[in-house]
Structure 1
Amino acid sequence: MHKVSKPEILYFGTPVVLISTCNEDGSFNLAPISSVFWLGWRCVIGISAFSKTTENMLRTWQCVLNLPSTDQVAAVNKLARTTGTNPVPQGKLLKGYRFEADKFGTAGLTPVDSHIVSAPRVNECPVQMEAVVEAVHSLAEADDVQRGRLLTIELRIQRVHAEESILMDGAPNRVDPDKWRPLIMSFQQFYGLGAQVHESTLARIPEALYHSVDMDRAHGN
Structure 2
Amino acid sequence: MDDHVAITPSILYFGTPVVLLTTENADGTPNITPMSSAWALGEVVVLGLARTGHGARNLTERPDLVINLPGPDQWAAVERLAPLTGANPVPEHKRGRFRYEPDKFAAAGWTGVPAEVVRPPRIGECPLQLEARAAEIRERAGFLVIEADVLRVHCAPDLVVPGTQHVDPAKWSPLIYNFRHYFGLGAQLGHSFRSETVPTRA
| TM-score normalised by L of structure 1 | 0.85
Structure 2: how far apart are the matches of 1:185 and 1:79?
A: 14
Unaligned runs of 5+ in 2: none
Secondary structure of 1:43's counterpart equals strand
Aligned pair in 2 of structure 1 residues 191, 87: CA closer, same or farther (>3 Å)? same
Matched, 1:162 2:161: no
Secondary structure of 2:39's counterpart equals strand
Secondary structure of 1:185's counterpart equals strand
Deviation at 1:204, TM superposition (A): 6.1
Give runs of aligned pairs for residues 49-198 of structure 1, distance below 5 A. Answer: 49-93=51-95, 96-140=97-141, 149-171=142-164, 173-198=165-190
* One-letter amino acid of the structure 1 residue matched with residue 120 of structure 2: A
Structure 2: how far apart are the matches of 1:202 and 1:183?
A: 24
1:28 aligns with: 30
| TM-score normalised by L of structure 2 | 0.92
Matched, 1:199 2:187: no
Structure 1: how far apart are the matches of 2:94 and 2:184?
A: 27
Which 4+ residue blocks in structure 1 deviate beyond 4 angstroms? none
Deviation at 1:205, TM superposition (A): 9.6
Residue-pair matches, total: 196
Q: RMSD over aligned Cα, in angstroms?
A: 1.5
Unaligned runs of 5+ in 1: 141-148, 207-221
Percent identity (aligned): 43
